Structure 1
């Protein structure tokens, strides 16, 4: 069974977007390098969903490539789905998406896409693991991710920390309650304008 990794780009003060869901300068490092991140068939990753491929610094390239290639299923909340319109049915990585939502898929929305709308975080992770097989389940940080972490369903926390202070906005860990211990980081990679960190969740 694949690892469940909660992952997002985050400001140094812990925000993944502003109050409106805009990421501002958080994703600039994805497009400011000189090393394109390509999939097995040579197609370039499109993290934005807008047709602009990822090009990162050489320091980040191997980490980003291995991370995105490992993903089988992405789990996202309904707010993010609505904000990006589900990347128009083409997730930036992986083959499947599970949306944590009380509401069903919009009628007629990209019927060809492997998007599954599941009510409840435990059921969402069960579905995501089934779809991912041995590959990684990548959980988007934010409110849905925080609920999944609080439920004890996250194996690792991955943060791409960008040197910017937002001051307010949407938190990486949402409105999570209580204390949750992580192990020392087992990945620490300094890229250009980003610091890649990964922590195992302490059981």
Structure 2
């Protein structure tokens, strides 16, 4: 069965961006080391973070994101940042003429998005961006694992990692704990009831 991993970088108090969608210092650790991660050398991190990120990204076949992230990033100009496919949860279609060659799929609901991403990912993992869409997938029981890159900064308010999830949900003890420079990489399996 394809793993569905909810993932994002987060502040220590659980925010993925501030109230104005500004990520502030959350991604500074992508550029604070000596190990190149990308071919163009734009990402340079510590060896511990680079090894973790490299293996995590290689395992992803498809991403699920919300329309807000798609619009903010202009869909990374049709080139998925990880994986080969992106499924966008949106009540609006793909913008007219927007990168027709890109493997981006627009669907109305979270469950449909995760199902389509699983199909597209094949035997690789599905990454669900945290926030509202990720929180909905998590609350619906569609997520197997939670991956957080926790940065030592406190935002105080903003866009929550788990979106507007309510109620108590339990995770297993972390099975991955890697200390980088200005980041702590954590991965938890989702505890199922029963």
TM-score by length of 1: 0.92
Moved over 4 A (4+): none
Deviations, residues 11-36 of structure 1 (Å, cap 9, x unaligned) = 00000001111111000000111111
Matched, 1:128 2:117: yes
Task: Please point out which of 169, 180, 190 is paired with 2:169.
Answer: 180
Matched with 1:8 is 8
- The gaps in structure 2 that reach 5 residues or longer are none
- In 1, distance between residues paired with 2:23 and 2:173? 27
Deviations 1:145-176 (A, max 9, x none): 00000010000000000000101110001110
Equivalenced residue count is: 192
Q: Hey, what does 2:185 align to over in structure 1?
A: 196
- Provide the rounded CA distance (Å) in 2 between the counterparts of 1:187 and 1:156: 11
Confirm whether residue 100 of structure 1 aligns to residue 77 of structure 2: no
Instruction: Point out where structure 1 has 5 or more consecutive residues left out of the alignment.
Output: 45-51
Aligned to 1:48: none
Alignment of 1:1-203 (within 5 A): 1-38=1-38, 43=39, 53-203=42-192
Q: Deviations over 1:171-196 (max 9, x none)?
A: 00111011111000000000000000
Residue 53 of structure 1, CA deviation:
2.5
Aligned CA RMSD, in angstroms, stands at 1.0
TM-score normalised by the chain length of structure 2: 0.96
- Cα distance per residue 1:27-84 (max 9 Å; x no partner): 000011111124xxxx45xxxxxxx732111121211110011110011001111111
For 2:147 and 2:164, the matched residues in 1 are separated by 18
Q: What is the deviation of 1:99?
A: 0.3
CA distance in 2, matches of 1:196, 1:118: 31
